[in-house]
Structure 1
């Protein structure tokens, strides 16, 4: 709104940036009178939301998924976490790979400089800063997404790492939400585990987005089935391990499972 700069205490460019990232994270959406909070945004950050002050690290995992699964508004982020699988790389290699992806997949005109900047922003958003005492303070402030450890930077600063790991810190409720969203988007009731590990077509893959090993993916699926029984099942069909959706469920129910469980723990 016109009062945003005053209410938020930031300049007009920053207001535009905040609006963009709220859309990229699927927390607000265009409406007839400007923008409105999405049901998901209201559920998490509303006045009676699950985590209005971003105190639960699960919400950061959730925001990461929502950005990395949004190819329209966060193309570079979608590409990096779904299509770029090099565990060790330089910023130049990442920029070149994103530019190649853009050439093959983006029909409209785009600037190569902008694509390279996007690649640099992805790395800066997820890797902790290596600033020294002479670095301006605004350049060493890290994004909350850097807490997830999905991208790390070598001490020398030239090499980056983004490796598949166990990711014990990833909550089962957030993992379940991502799996349920994929099933909902694809309108399916069964899917090979491999397709949840590696993105195919235009759909995101939770295993890739969360940088999970194959063993970690199966372990988390088994925990999800154990903690929320009767929804998913793993079966082997013709030598292929598949996940079956036994009962249609709203992805939001997995978030309620996580946050309500957290509320009960805090009360206890």
Structure 2
């Protein structure tokens, strides 16, 4: 009975207007280093891997971890499911071929942006924190309280507080769980810590501060920033994007990477000098527009990763 209660608390769903809203599908596990590589390899070899009873033995993870891995691969738009078969998405194929170990910060930044798209309402807490939650410095308790208030206003039926608590805990761990410097074999850290988007601080009285930071990026490699512009252009079927959109839209730089307007302008100026796909960045007194080349984000990524 106890295990059943845990399962019910861990996965909470509700149907509204034809969509399914979910919380806690990560099984309380943040994404571990090398999980992506393992998962993509097994799906590429066997489309029914996640439905096989001995899959946990084949991949060397616990049963709950395998279910968590399945969530992460889907939430990050690396794997898609149809009729109990999983296949790599176009993005998943590119990353599997070019950077399945997630060694390039640009790859991780792109996956972070894919997670925030919250496809199927399965990655709600991540989208909420970066695109809806306004505070840049808070405590873990305040964060949990604010998330519960937001969920209660959004949902017509009660959602388990324990499930929401675990969502916040996994959110923080995903972006802060670093490798043990004293253990070179440590592999339970999260690759997303390289982005430095969240910092957890402890004060003298041991209370925890959670700080939302701007993304850590290399000015000589702006692949992730260009990817987001191209994805937005393709999805919205627009050729011109305003600077204000880049800063305020939930899928673009200001929200996804938490950068300032001045930083965005600097990045746009650099992208305007791209050797193969230069942007046209036109600054006027009233409106700043960016003209996007007619290439898909996947075509671009294929040439850059």
Which band: TM-score by shorter chain? 0.7 to 0.9
Stretches of structure 2 lacking an aligned partner (at least 5 in a row): 1-48
Please say if residues 81 and 209 of structure 1, whose CA atoms lie closer than 8 Å, have aligned partners that are also in contact.
yes
User: Taking structure 1 as reference, are residues 33 and 25 closer, same or farther at Cα in structure 2, changes over 3 Å only?
Assistant: same
| Equivalent in the alignment of 2:163 | 114
> How do 1:137-148 and structure 2 match up within 5 A?
141-148=188-195
2-structure distance, mates of 1:130, 1:242: 41
2-structure distance, mates of 1:188, 1:105: 30
* CA deviation after TM superposition for structure 1 residue 111, in Å: 2.5
* CA deviation after TM superposition for structure 1 residue 101, in Å: 2.7
Please say if residues 194 and 216 of structure 2, whose CA atoms lie closer than 8 Å, have aligned partners that are also in contact.
no
Question: Structure 1-normalised TM-score?
Answer: 0.80
1-structure distance, mates of 2:99, 2:115: 18
User: Taking structure 1 as reference, are residues 230 and 36 closer, same or farther at Cα in structure 2, changes over 3 Å only?
Assistant: closer
SS at match of 1:154: strand
Of residues 88, 112, 136, the one that matches 2:137 is 88
Deviation per CA, 1:161-197: give whole Å up to 9, x if none. Answer: 1133674368311211111112222222223212211
Deviates more, 1:179-188 or 1:35-44: 179-188
1-structure distance, mates of 2:304, 2:277: 17
Please say if residues 112 and 192 of structure 2, whose CA atoms lie closer than 8 Å, have aligned partners that are also in contact.
yes
User: Taking structure 1 as reference, are residues 27 and 190 closer, same or farther at Cα in structure 2, changes over 3 Å only?
Assistant: same
Please say if residues 225 and 233 of structure 1, whose CA atoms lie closer than 8 Å, have aligned partners that are also in contact.
yes
Of residues 232, 249, 257, the one that matches 1:210 is 257
| Equivalent in the alignment of 2:94 | 43
Matched, 1:252 2:298: yes
Question: Structure 2-normalised TM-score?
Answer: 0.71
| Equivalent in the alignment of 1:263 | none
SS at match of 2:288: strand
CA RMSD in angstroms, aligned pairs only:
2.9
Stretches of structure 1 lacking an aligned partner (at least 5 in a row): 260-268
Of residues 57, 61, 66, the one that matches 2:105 is 57
Please say if residues 195 and 205 of structure 1, whose CA atoms lie closer than 8 Å, have aligned partners that are also in contact.
yes
> How do 1:157-236 and structure 2 match up within 5 A?
158-164=208-214, 167-168=217-218, 171-199=221-249, 203-228=250-275, 232-236=279-283
* CA deviation after TM superposition for structure 1 residue 249, in Å: 1.2
Please say if residues 95 and 119 of structure 1, whose CA atoms lie closer than 8 Å, have aligned partners that are also in contact.
yes
Please say if residues 200 and 209 of structure 2, whose CA atoms lie closer than 8 Å, have aligned partners that are also in contact.
yes
| Equivalent in the alignment of 2:289 | 242
SS at match of 1:227: coil
1-structure distance, mates of 2:146, 2:275: 39
2-structure distance, mates of 1:144, 1:166: 13
Deviation per CA, 1:4-38: give whole Å up to 9, x if none. Answer: 22210122211111111000000000123421111
